[in-house]
C-alpha cells in the first residue's frame, strides 16, 4: 500500500475545462513528491467532488474503453468487518487520521528481522490465496471478506482497515484503477485485471505486498503490461544491497517502462515498513536524483505502477480510489524486502 509523507489536509484546486473546482476534502492519499524539497504534497488533476461527478462521471457512465470494457464504476460498499478484541491492532486504528510516512530509518535487530519474516510470509500467503478467488462473477467485496477472515484466523490484523478511515481489509484495484481501490459489490468480468494489495500486522510488524491477477481470458495487451510491471519489480530488487543508492530503483524501472512505452505513475511511492506501516525511505519508481543509500537490516517496499496510456491519476469522491485519467489499464506489483549483506531478501515470497 503506497505511503504518504505529508498528510495535513489542504485546499486543492482542480480544473474542468476553464472552471475551477475547489475542494476541502482530506485528500490524504494522492500526492506528488517534490524532488527539491523531499516532500510529498497532495495534488489532483481532478477530484470527483459533487460538481465534477455531475459533469464528468455521469457523462462517461456507459463509455466503452478500447471497444471492449466499460469505464470502471463504484459499487456498493458493505459495512466494516469486525475484528476480535484479542487481535492486536496498530495504533492508528479508529483514529481516522493516517499517520503518514514516519521520518527516520528502522534498522532491525535479530528479533525484528524474524518478526518481519513472519509478517511477510503471512502477507504472501494471503495474497496468493486471494489470487485464487479471482474469477468472473466474484465481487471484490467477497475477496475482501475472504482476506479479512484468513488474516484474523492467523492472529493478525489487516493493516488497511481503519488506516485514515479506509473501510476495508484489502485494496482491490481493477483495470484502470492505479491503487487503493475499495472492495465493493462490482462482480469481476472476463478479461479484467486486478491488483490485490495485502498488508498484515502480526506481532507488531507489518508485511506489505501486492500482485496483479488475470480474470478469465485476458487480452495480450493487458498480459504484456502485467508481465512487464512484474519484471520491473524483479529487476529493481536485483540491484538492491547495502550502500546502493535508492535512485537506482527508479532508473531501472523507468528504463524498462520506456522500452515498452509505458507510463510510470509518480504520485505514489514505495516506503519503509516494519513496526510502522509507512516510514522512510521514500522509494521513487521513476528517474530521480534523490540522495540516500540502502542500509543493512532495513526493510522497505518497492511497488511500481505502470500504465498503458496516461500516467496521470484521478481520485474518486471516496478519497481513496485512484484511476488513470484516460481509463487506460494500470498494473502494479509490490514486495517487502530486507537488505542483507548479500543483497536483498524478499520477505513476501511464499
Would you call 303 helix, strand, or coil by DSSP? Answer: coil
Q: What is the CA radius of gyration of the chain?
A: 19
DSSP 130-187: HHHT--TT-BHHHHHHHHHHHHHHTT-EETTTTGGG--SSSEEEETTEEE-PPP-SPB
CA 105 to chain centre: 21
Binding-site residue numbers for substrate are 180, 278
The whole-angstrom separation of Cα 117 and Cα 303 is: 18
State the cell numbers at 222. Answer: 493487458
Q: Which residue in 268, 285, 270, 280 sits closest to 348, CA to CA?
A: 270
Q: Are strands 177-179 and 322-324 parallel, antiparallel or unpaired?
A: antiparallel
Binding-site residue numbers for a divalent metal cation are 197, 208, 271, 303, 334
Phi, psi of 16 (to 5 degrees): -125, 105
Binding-site residue numbers are 180, 197, 208, 271, 278, 303, 334
Amino acid at each position: 500500500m503506497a505511503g504518504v509523507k505529508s498528510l495535513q489536509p489542504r485546499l486543492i484546486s482542480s480544473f474542468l475545462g476553464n472552471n475551477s473546482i475547489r475542494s476541502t476534502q482530506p485528500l490524504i492519499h494522492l500526492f506528488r513528491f517534490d524532488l527539491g524539497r523531499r516532500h510529498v504534497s497532495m495534488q489532483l488533476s481532478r477530484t470527483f467532488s459533487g460538481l465534477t461527478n455531475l459533469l464528468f462521471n455521469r457523462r462517461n457512465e456507459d463509455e466503452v474503453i478500447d471497444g471492449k470494457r466499460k469505464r470502471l464504476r463504484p459499487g456498493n460498499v458493505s459495512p466494516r468487518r469486525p475484528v476480535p478484541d484479542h487481535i492486536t491492532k496498530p495504533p492508528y486504528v479508529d483514529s481516522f487520521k493516517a499517520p503518514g510516512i514516519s521520518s527516520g530509518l528502522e534498522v532491525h535487530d535479530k528479533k525484528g528481522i524474524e518478526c518481519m519474516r513472519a509478517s511477510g510470509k503471512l502477507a504472501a500467503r494471503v495474497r496468493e490465496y486471494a489470487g485464487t478467488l479471482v474469477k468472473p462473477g466474484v465481487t471484490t467485496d467477497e475477496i475482501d471478506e475472504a482476506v479479512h477472515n484468513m488474516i484474523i484466523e492467523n492472529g493478525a490484523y489487516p493493516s488497511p482497515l481503519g488506516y485514515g478511515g479506509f473501510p476495508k481489509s484489502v485494496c482491490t484495484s481493477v483495470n484502470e484503477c492505479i491503487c487503493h481501490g475499495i472492495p465493493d459489490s462490482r462482480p469481476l468480468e472476463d478479461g479484467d485485471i486486478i491488483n490485490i494489495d495485502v498488508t498484515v500486522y502480526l506481532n507488531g510488524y507489518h508485511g506489505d505486498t501486492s500482485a496483479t491477477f488475470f480474470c478469465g481470458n485476458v487480452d495480450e495487451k493487458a498480459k504484456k503490461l502485467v508481465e512487464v510491471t512484474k519484471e520491473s519489480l524483479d529487476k529493481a530488487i536485483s540491484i538492491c544491497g547495502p550502500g546502493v543508492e535508492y535512485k537506482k530503483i527508479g532508473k531501472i524501472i523507468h528504463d524498462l517502462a520506456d522500452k515498452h512505452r509505458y507510463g510510470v505513475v509518480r504520485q505514489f511511492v514505495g516506503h519503509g515498513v516494519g513496526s510502522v506501516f509507512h516510514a522512510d525511505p521514500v522509494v521513487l519508481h521513476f528517474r530521480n536524483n534523490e540522495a540516500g543509500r540502502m542500509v543493512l537490516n532495513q526493510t522497505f517496499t518497492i511497488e511500481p505502477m505502470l500504465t498503458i496510456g496516461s500516467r496521470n491519476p484521478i481520485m474518486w469522491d471516496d478519497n481513496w480510489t485512484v484511476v488513470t485519467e484516460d481509463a487506460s489499464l494500470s498494473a502494479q506489483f509490490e514486495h517487502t524486502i530486507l537488505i542483507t549483506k548479500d543483497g536483498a531478501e524478499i520477505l513476501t515470497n511464499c
